[in-house]
Every structure is written in C-alpha cells, then in structure tokens.
Amino acid sequence: MKRILITGGAGFIGSNLCDYFISKGNQVTCLDNFATGFRYNIEHLLSHPDFKLIEGDIRDLATCQQAAADQDYVLHQAALGSVPRSINDPITSNDVNVGGFLNMLVAARDSGVKRFIYAASSSTYGDSETLPKVEEVIGKPLSPYAITKYVNELYADVFSKTYGIECIGLRYFNVFGRRQHPNGAYAAVIPKFVIQLMNHESPVINGTGEYSRDFTYIDNVIQMNEKAMSAENKEALNTVYNTAVGDRTTLNLLVEYLKEYLSVYDPAIANVPIIHGDLRAGDIPHSLASIDKAKKLLGYEPSHDIKKGLQEAVGWYWENLK
C-alpha cells in the first residue's frame, strides 16, 4: 500500500489515475479546485476508506503542503491545459502551471516525498522539425502553454540536483479516452468530434486535415505513471519520457476512424460531412514520439494503439453521453 497524492485528480487523466491506484490497494489523496475537473468524475470514490479529497488550489502553498504531508508519491496532473487558452490568457496559465508547479515541488520536498512524477507535454518540442521526437532534442516553444511545461522540466531538474528529490516527467502526447470532456471552448479534438458526430453535426478540421498527432489512449498513460513510480534503476530517474504510442494519425484519418466506429451504433453517422476551417495559432504540423527511452528504462509497452483506443473511447462516450 502506497500513499499517493494525485493533483488534478478530478480531471480526465487524474480521475483515471485515482481509479486505478485505488483499485490496486493504495491510499489516494486527490487535490483539485474543480476549475477544469468535475466532482462527478470522483463521486464514486468519495465513500472509499482509502480515498481522500482535498478541495483546494495549487496556487496556494499552504494547501499544497497540507496535501503533500505524509505522502510517498506525488502524481502531479493539475494544470491549465490548452494552447489556445494560454494564448488568450497567458497570465493565468503561467500562475497555475509554473507557480502552482513550484508550490507542489516545494511541498513535496518539505514533506520528504519519495518521488515526484509530473505531467509534462509534447508541446515542449516546439518548432523542432525532427521526427520522431526524441527526449533530448527540443526546439523553441510556440505558445505560452508550451513555455510553462518546459519551465516545469527545468524546475524539476534543478530540484532533483539541488534537493535530492526524485523527479520524472512524462511528456504526454494527445491523450484521449474515457471521461475526457467534450464541451467548452478548449475541448480536446477527439471528444469534441465524437459528440458532434453523435449529434449528426459536421466536425470542423483546422486546415487541410493532414496535420498529424501521436494520439495516446489513457491506459497507456496510466501504465507510464505506474512504471515511473516503480522504477528502481537510477538511470531511469530525474529525466523525462515521451508518453505516447510511437505512431501518428492525420486528423482526416482520425475522423474516418471515428465515423467508422460510431456507425456501429448509428449507421447515419457514416454520411455526416466534414468541414475544413482555418489553421489554429500555435499548432505544430506533426507530432510523433520515439518511445525507445521509455521501453528501455521503464519497460513500457503500449497496450492500446489508435484503433483499439478509439474503439474503447467511442463505446464509453456512446454509453455515457448519448
């Protein structure tokens, strides 16, 4: 039984991590201010004897210290995601993603946490055109959000060297799956397209649709967090890892997959037309991860490729949101 603090634990990724680690017999504390997370994501856990909810904001150091007290591990997921959000409001994104991150690092250090594992981002690769993306080769950030996530990596590196706290960053690549929220101005592309198609509305693809992404199913992300927690080889610590599948899918092909899998439930979805709009500021053309480092040092093997992940995600959305 491990004592695990999951920040942002009511969010999409965080709530899935809460579920998983509770199911494995651990004591889990969730810290969330419900700015982007939802209480209903963790409602079923509130009565569990090994689950604790702290409603609070990582921008408050005292709250972070309260949450980190007596914890073995911190899985830091709390952040304001979205490139467009950061372009519209860079100050709040910085306050949460940099100031809040530093608060959590300080709290983890002061509480003697064994290991601090945090959600990094593929946006850190910025304008680097190298494919596949290798952890040690990055470019200049293309958005305020990307800057904040890169600063996280710099702070984690300094804290590991200066204070001896073990840190591992997981550079998430376009994570999708159950509980990812489909609504709002900054909704991720997969749940947004799924809901539109279920309602027989035309999804709008930014640009020609030939931009590509390494879409990564939530179960792969859970595996990487668990591998990062259990790593014992010193070479595996105090570094960052791509958290991805190692394959890329264009937006055009993504929509074709979604239409195919949703048509199982509603054949009319196959005939919903697609609309192409303007390119979005701050977007990189292509994203493809090398996962060799994670395979070598953590023993990572993705359980879900894009097709298997989409089929499971579509089934969840149809059952829960139709």
Query: Between 53 and 185, whose confidence is greater?
Result: 53
For residue 184, pLDDT over 80 is answered with no
**What does the pLDDT read at residue 261?**
98
For residue 187, pLDDT over 80 is answered with no
Give the pLDDT mean for 216-241. 97
**What does the pLDDT read at residue 83?**
86
pLDDT band for position 84 (cuts 50, 70, 90): confident
Rg, C-alpha atoms of the chain: 19
Specify the range with the lowest mean pLDDT, choosing from 23-27, 149-153, 182-186, 307-311. Answer: 182-186
- Neighbouring CB atoms inside 10 A of 132's CB total 17
Active-site option among 20, 73, 145, 241: 145
Beta-carbon contacts of 274 under 8 Å, excluding residues fewer than 6 positions away, are 202, 203, 205, 209, 252, 255
Average per-residue pLDDT for the chain: 95
pLDDT band for position 185 (cuts 50, 70, 90): low
Long-range contacts of the stretch 275-278 (C-beta < 8 A, 24+): 275/202, 275/203, 275/204, 275/205, 276/204, 276/205, 276/206, 276/207, 276/208, 276/209, 277/204, 277/205, 277/206, 277/207, 278/206, 278/207
> What is the longest distance spanned by two Cα atoms in the chain?
59
Q: Which residue has the tokens 């298997």?
A: 308
**What does the pLDDT read at residue 78?**
98
Residue 230 tokens read as 């259990």
Class of domain 3-177+218-246+288-304 as given by CATH: alpha beta
For residue 47, pLDDT over 90 is answered with yes
pLDDT band for position 188 (cuts 50, 70, 90): confident
For residue 246, pLDDT over 90 is answered with yes
Specify the range with the lowest mean pLDDT, choosing from 3-17, 156-170, 275-289. Answer: 275-289
pLDDT band for position 282 (cuts 50, 70, 90): low
**What does the pLDDT read at residue 280?**
73
- Neighbouring CB atoms inside 10 A of 256's CB total 15
Query: Between 74 and 187, whose confidence is greater?
Result: 74
pLDDT band for position 186 (cuts 50, 70, 90): low
**What does the pLDDT read at residue 167?**
98
Q: What are phi and psi of 71, to 5 degrees?
A: -90, 150
For residue 80, pLDDT over 90 is answered with yes
Give the pLDDT mean for 84-88. 92
- Neighbouring CB atoms inside 10 A of 100's CB total 27
pLDDT band for position 284 (cuts 50, 70, 90): confident
Give the pLDDT mean for 86-111. 97
Query: Between 81 and 243, whose confidence is greater?
Result: 243
The model carries a pTM of 0.95
Q: How far apart are CA 210 and CA 199, in angstroms?
A: 25
For residue 283, pLDDT over 80 is answered with no
**What does the pLDDT read at residue 279?**
80
Q: Domain map of the chain by residue range?
A: 3-177+218-246+288-304
Active site residue 145: yes
